[in-house]
């Protein structure tokens, strides 16, 4: 992780966990579960909305959604730290993979999964 916002977040979260002696609970397995649990909470905000409604949330709802997303980012950064991974480098690599996997001329306007293009 480069020395910027994500790295600052990482440092702050590490300090938070150490001060509470919570590193003992932060095994990668547990953090993955916590991350997925937060995704579940995010889903609940959107499950009965149609796509259009999902794009124009009321301010209070939008704030709640932002805080759920924050939880996901927090666990993602914690997990990177515990696994010794560079999250931003992985994102760069993945975007490169996606660019090769989904060439513009092949997939324009069509969002099927990669495994479905090859059928």
Q: Which of residues 64-103 bind a copy of itself (CB under 8 A)?
A: 65-67, 69-74, 76, 79-80, 82-83, 85-91, 93-95, 97-99, 102
Question: Which residue, among 45, 50, 29, 39, has the nearest Cα to 72 in the 3D structure?
Answer: 39
CB of 114 to a copy of itself, least distance (A): 11
CB of 118 to a copy of itself, least distance (A): 15
Which residues within the stretch 32-51 sit at the binding site for a copy of itself (CB under 8 A)?
A: 32-51
- Which strand (E) or helix (H) includes residue 71? helix 59-83
CB of 45 to a copy of itself, least distance (A): 8
CA 18, 19, 21, 24: dihedral to nearest 10 degrees?
Answer: -20
CB of 42 to a copy of itself, least distance (A): 6
Interface with a copy of itself, residue 10, by CB under 8 A? no
Q: Answer left, alpha or beta for residue 69, where phi above 0 means left and psi between -120 and 50 means alpha.
A: alpha
Compute the distance between CA of residue 32 and CA of residue 24 in angstroms, rounded to an integer: 15
Contact 107, 114 (CB under 8 A): no
Binds a copy of itself (CB under 8 A): choice among 11, 22, 101, 114: 22
Binds a copy of itself (CB under 8 A): choice among 11, 27, 101, 117: 27
């Amino acid at each position: 992780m480069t020395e910027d916002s994500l790295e600052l977040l990482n440092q702050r979260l590490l300090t938070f966990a150490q001060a509470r002696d919570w590193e003992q609970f932060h095994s990668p397995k547990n953090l993955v579960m916590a991350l997925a649990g937060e995704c579940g909470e995010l889903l609940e905000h959107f499950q009965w909305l149609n796509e259009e409604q999902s794009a124009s949330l009321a301010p209070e709802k939008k704030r709640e959604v932002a805080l759920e997303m924050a939880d996901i980012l927090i666990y993602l950064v914690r997990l990177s730290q515990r696994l010794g991974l560079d999250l931003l480098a992985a994102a760069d690599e993945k975007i490169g993979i996606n660019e090769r996997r989904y060439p513009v001329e092949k997939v324009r306007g069509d969002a099927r999964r990669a495994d479905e293009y090859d059928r």
